Structure 1
Amino acid sequence: MTGSLARRCGAELVGTALLIVFGPGAVVAALTVGDGTLDYAGLGMIALSFGLVVALVIYAFGSTSGAHINPAVTLALATTGRFPWRDVGPYVLAQLAGSVLGGLLVVGAFGTGAVDLGNVGGVAFGDGVGYPQAILAEALGTFLLMITIMALAVDRRAPVGWSGWLIGLSVTGLVLVFGPLTGAAVNPARAFGPNATAALFGGDVDWTQYPAYVIGPLLGALAASLVYDVLARPGDAEPGPGPDVQGTQGEVTGSRT
């Protein structure tokens, strides 16, 4: 990673805002075209939009901040010694702020009617989905995302230049599978921004579901990073942690995610 903490947090803020504009924004667009209804073909287009924006944000800001754009990713990297704990708080705050900014931009583009279209593309449990099922779905989706990050962005043995596209495709895949259950947020910031924006404009937001969008992604990201370390041992191909983890292992996430 390069630049000051302020510059890196600015990259996280802008990257997360773009994620919301072209992720949940795609939900609003699909509901607009479908007169308030969404079929599986529409979900496919939403998944594609999510995947593309994730890939492009990684290529744009990966060398600056690591392009985490997800508190669960930041915490998993810190837990495994690949990101300094002192920077976790500022990163998470920047991601949450970026998610709200993105939500406001969606409302600015589509008008306040976006609040009526799924709460600015916000996430919610599907019909008949309970808390344990929602947490499991979010954890499984995040597991796929994080293990792709570990394989393509953290592991120095990975082929250069593929991380953005394949991480983006992992997001497309998990949205296609788990979107009908929870909206497949796999990201506490993605879940927070649209709902917070909708609440600002009088939307009916069920905040009691939000903890599932924090617990599930955190469990999935931590599990994936630990499983990858045990089974694939990327540490064998990484420099050992020195006095400044950001300057050694942390550099991998900055240059390749």
Structure 2
Amino acid sequence: MAVTNLMKRALAELIGTYVLVFLGTGSVVTTVLLMEGWEAFPGNQFNIGIDIAAWFAIGMSFAIAITSMIYAFGHISGTHINPAVSLALWATGRFPTKDLPAYIIAQLIGASLASFSLVAILGMRAVDTGLGATSMFYGVGYGQAIFCEAVCTFFLMLTIMGTAVDRRAPPGFAGLAIGIVVAADVIVVGNITGSSLNPARTFGPYLAESLLGGANLWTQFPIYIIGPIAGALVAAFLYDFVAEPKKAD
């Protein structure tokens, strides 16, 4: 029974991450395809010519996907849909060790299936756009990119702790608050690192791109592992220190 329950929760994580990556990175692909003259730039297109209005639309796409999945699956799996979130909840004693591998594997699979689905729908031109793969913007150093991802994931995890984890929070608002902070992160730093905040969200497009002959960005993948995990851990432990939610349980 416990194994079956975990499988169902992991499936919810897979579906939730699939929706997040399909709608979020799909909005990036659509933006690039709509850009005049995008064919002139081979390889990854994520950071080329996207203005603030487009970043707002992309941010809202991610926000809508996350908000919807929180309300759809929050009562089933918790809707982590992000390995950094799962690890932070595990590190603070809120998520069992035995469930952690299943959640992370499901998240990575969901993200990968979403990227391959975009290619199935749009064809190889989706690969030519970069599939919304996150990367450093021109002039941004490796350390700066890690710090950027850490700071923005800190905002995300802090919001999760205060609205979804702390039982004292007003009910019903977690999905909206979490979606809004993700949208703000994307709008502000999308043109710096792509605003991943989520190793799975970056993994899916990277895998599809590399297997289908697109850009190979794996050397940048540590940015989107170290930054989000560090930011999420700091936020979770700092929230526990400041708010002391466990004392109120």
TM-score w.r.t. the length of structure 1 is 0.90
Task: Quote the Cα distance in structure 2 between the aligned partners of 1:74 and 1:222.
Answer: 10
Superposed CA deviations along residues 60-93 of structure 1, whole A, max 9, x for unmatched, are 0111111000000000000000000111111100
Please show how residues 140-179 of structure 1 align to structure 2 within 5 Å. 140-179=151-190
**What is the Cα-based RMSD across aligned positions, in Å?**
1.1
SS in 1 for 2:76: helix
**Percent of matched pairs sharing the same residue:** 47
Alpha-carbon displacement from aligned partner over 1:130-163 (angstroms, at most 9, x marks no partner): 1110000000110000000000000011010000
Question: Relative to structure 2, which stretch is displaced further, 216-225 or 107-116?
Answer: 107-116
State the 1:27 CA deviation. Answer: 0.2
2:64 aligned residue (25, 28, 52): 52
CA offset digits 1:169-227 (Å, max 9, x no partner): 01001111111110000000001001111112100222110001000000000000011
Name the amino acid aligned to 1:27. V
- What is the CA-CA distance between 1:101 and the residue it aligns to? 0.4
- Is 1:83 equivalent to 2:108 in the alignment? no
SS at match of 1:23: helix
Amino acid in the other structure paired with 1:48: M
| 1:202 partnered with 2:202 | no
| Structural mapping, 1:99-110, within 5 Å | 99-110=111-122
Structure 2 unmatched ranges of 5 or more:
39-48
3-state SS of 1:4 partner:
helix
Unpaired runs of 5+ residues, structure 1, are 239-257
Aligned partners of 2:248 and 2:182: how far apart in 1?
Answer: 26
Q: Distance in 2 between matches of 1:65 and 1:206?
A: 31
The answer for the alignment partner of 2:6 in structure 1 is 5
Q: In the alignment, which of 203, 211, 222 is matched to residue 211 of structure 1?
A: 222
In structure 2, C-alpha distance between the alignment counterparts of 1:28 and 1:132, rounded to whole Å: 27
Q: Which residue of 2 aligns with 1:67?
A: 79
Supply the AA of the counterpart residue of 2:5.
S
Query: Partner of 1:28 in structure 2?
Result: 29
**1:16 positional shift:** 0.4
Please name the residue that 1:234 is paired with: 245
More deviation, 27-36/46-55? 27-36
Instruction: Kindly state the Cα deviation for residue 233 of structure 1 after the two structures are TM-superposed.
Output: 1.1
Report whether the alignment pairs 1:130 with 2:131: no
Tell me, in whole angstroms, the C-alpha distance in 2 between the residues paired with 1:69 and 1:43: 22
Please give the alpha-carbon distance, in whole angstroms, between the structure 2 residues aligned to 1:39 and 1:51: 18
- CA distance in structure 2 between the partners assigned to 1:47 and 1:76 by the alignment: 23
Aligned to 1:181: 192
Within 2, Cα distance between the matches of 1:136 and 1:167?
21
| 1:32 to partner: Cα distance | 1.1
Separation in structure 2 between the aligned mates of residue 23 and residue 91 of structure 1, nearest angstrom: 20
- For residues 109 and 204 of structure 1, what CA distance do their matches in structure 2 show? 19
Q: Following the alignment from structure 1 to structure 2, what is the Cα–Cα distance between the partners of residues 85 and 79?
A: 9
SS in 2 for 1:67: coil
Tell me, what secondary structure is at the counterpart of 2:149? helix
Aligned-partner Cα distance in 1 for 2:121–2:134: 20
How many residue pairs get aligned? The number is 236
